Amino acid sequence: MFTDRVTVYLKAGDGGNGCASFRREKFVPKGGPDGGNGGKGGDIIFKTDPNISTLLDFYYQPNIKAPRGKHGSSSNKAGRSGKDVTVKIPVGTVIIDPVTKRTIHDFVTADESKVMACGGRGGRGNACLKSRRNPLPREGEPGHPGEEATLLLELKLLADVGLVGFPNAGKSTLISHLSAARPKIADYPFTTLSPVLGTVKYDVYKEFVIADIPGILEGAHDNVGLGHTFLRHIERTKVLVFVIDMGSHEHLDPVKDYRILEDELRFHKPDLITKPRIVAANKMDLPDAADRLQLFLDSGVHEKETVFPISAIAGEGLKELQNAMIQKVEEIKREQCDS
Ligand SMILES: Nc1nc2c(ncn2[C@@H]2O[C@H](COP(=O)(O)OP(=O)(O)OP(=O)(O)O)[C@@H](O)[C@H]2O)c(=O)[nH]1
Ligand SMILES: [Mg+2]
């Protein structure tokens, strides 16, 4: 199961109490206060792990607790600190305040870590509380409570290129030809139920990441089909590839499909519509596809975007499409480096 949105409850460890005790030893009369400090409570730390790709673990275990610090004891013995708890999260996890919806932190790099809830400080023992005004404190300080937090975790995959299209358009067929990803491919809608990432290698040592997300239908923003929540996984991509079916059945209207895709992206997040885009006219091996492509080109719906006629199943036209992806990805990377 792929889970990309969970609410978690964190409770960092409370600090241990400071101890109140007095030194009692033979030949040491009036030994004075010797209560040790309480230990600090454990922190809860989130750390990204590139080997994790879902928030599923949190779905089963949404409560995360760190152990408390031990209490201080006599003879000036400080309590041991509670152990920090490090929680592994996938790269691309966004931490959001569920009430204000404000982003608290965005984990975008591997092995990035941050304390999300601080353990409470230990209370001071009466040895530490001794002062000129109060030379014999009879009580130790209580430990401070550890921080509590309710957080919304949202995973937004990190890919360079995102494939968008109607169900059955051939997105999974395309990613399986371009990369080593092997999503299920079948002749029915919604074969892909969760996003799939693939790495496209080129020029010996270079690569970019491509994401195949579930198909989008008209009204996805109103939860038609699988809804539009999966679109969040293409929010960070540099380039979008619209995969348009040109040939699989006679009632097909690629111009309408293209407009619907644009509308659904806009409903999800207006920024998506301004992302650099490439159009892949798929299933060109089928009869009538050439005529439909002509109608599509004549309509001008694609405006200035380049259209690549391909057959994902036969692997035709993929080299040109891949080159266009590389060119756009590199162009944007360069721009990001310059700015
Ligand atoms: N003739 C032809 N069939 C294709 C081509 N590309 C994909 N198909 C077929 O179209 C069907 C759907 O392909 P998928 O790759 O599963 O489509 P998808 O866009 O991933 O679909 P969802 O996961 O449901 O959104 C499968 O039966 C494929 O074999 C193509 O270029 N030509
Ligand atoms: Mg698919």
Q: How confident is the model at residue 68 (pLDDT cuts 50, 70, 90)?
A: very high
Distance 181 CA to ligand 2 centre (A): 11
* Same domain membership, residue 235 and residue 322: yes
* Same domain membership, residue 304 and residue 185: yes
How many structural domains comprise the chain? 2
Distance 165 CA to ligand 2 centre (A): 10
Distance 170 CA to ligand 1 centre (A): 3
- Does residue 55 have a pLDDT over 80? yes
Contact status, residue 160 vs residue 208, Cβ threshold 8 Å: yes
Rounded-to-10 torsion of CA 45, 49, 52, 53: 100
Burial of 56 (C-beta count, 10 Å sphere; 0-12/13-18/19+): middle
The pLDDT assigned to 31 comes to 80
Q: Give the residue from 155, 180, 207 where a domain finishes.
A: 155
* Same domain membership, residue 11 and residue 138: yes
The pLDDT assigned to 339 comes to 72
For ligand 1, say whether the CB of 187 is within 6 Å of any of its atoms. yes
Q: Which domain holds residue 223?
A: 161-338
For ligand 1, say whether the CB of 167 is within 6 Å of any of its atoms. yes
Nearest CA to ligand 1 atom 7: 170
For ligand 1, say whether the CB of 186 is within 6 Å of any of its atoms. yes
Mean pLDDT across the stretch 225-240? 88
Query: Probe ligand 1: pick from 168, 231, 264, max atoms within 8 Å of CB?
Result: 168
The pLDDT assigned to 286 comes to 92
- Does residue 302 have a pLDDT over 90? no
* Same domain membership, residue 98 and residue 29: yes
Closest C-alpha to 86, from 60, 109, 105, 112 = 112
Q: Which residues of 298-322 are buried (b: 16+ CB within 10 A; e: fewer)?
A: eeebbeeeeebbbbbeeeebbeebb
* Same domain membership, residue 221 and residue 139: no
For ligand 1, say whether the CB of 172 is within 6 Å of any of its atoms. yes
Q: How confident is the model at residue 297 (pLDDT cuts 50, 70, 90)?
A: very high
* Same domain membership, residue 131 and residue 4: yes
Mean pLDDT across the stretch 103-131? 94
Distance 302 CA to ligand 1 centre (A): 22
* Same domain membership, residue 126 and residue 16: yes
* Same domain membership, residue 331 and residue 314: yes
For ligand 1, say whether the CB of 285 is within 6 Å of any of its atoms. yes
pTM above 0.95?
no
Q: How confident is the model at residue 125 (pLDDT cuts 50, 70, 90)?
A: very high
Q: Give the residue from 131, 155, 179 where a domain finishes.
A: 155
Nearest CA to ligand 1 atom 12: 168
Distance 183 CA to ligand 2 centre (A): 7
* Same domain membership, residue 27 and residue 143: yes
- Does residue 50 have a pLDDT over 90? no
Instruction: Note the pLDDT tens digit of each residue in 143-190.
Output: 999 999 999 999 998 899 999 999 999 999 999 999 998 988 988 888
The pLDDT assigned to 58 comes to 92
* Same domain membership, residue 81 and residue 2: yes
* Same domain membership, residue 333 and residue 207: yes
The pLDDT assigned to 176 comes to 95
d(CA 13, CA 40): 8
Q: How confident is the model at residue 192 (pLDDT cuts 50, 70, 90)?
A: confident
Name which of 100-104, 117-121, 263-267, 301-305 the model is least confident about.
Answer: 301-305
Distance 214 CA to ligand 2 centre (A): 6
The pLDDT assigned to 188 comes to 86
Contact status, residue 106 vs residue 236, Cβ threshold 8 Å: no
Mean pLDDT across the stretch 269-275? 91
Distance 169 CA to ligand 1 centre (A): 5
Q: Give the residue from 98, 124, 155 where a domain finishes.
A: 155
For ligand 1, say whether the CB of 176 is within 6 Å of any of its atoms. no
For ligand 1, say whether the CB of 169 is within 6 Å of any of its atoms. yes
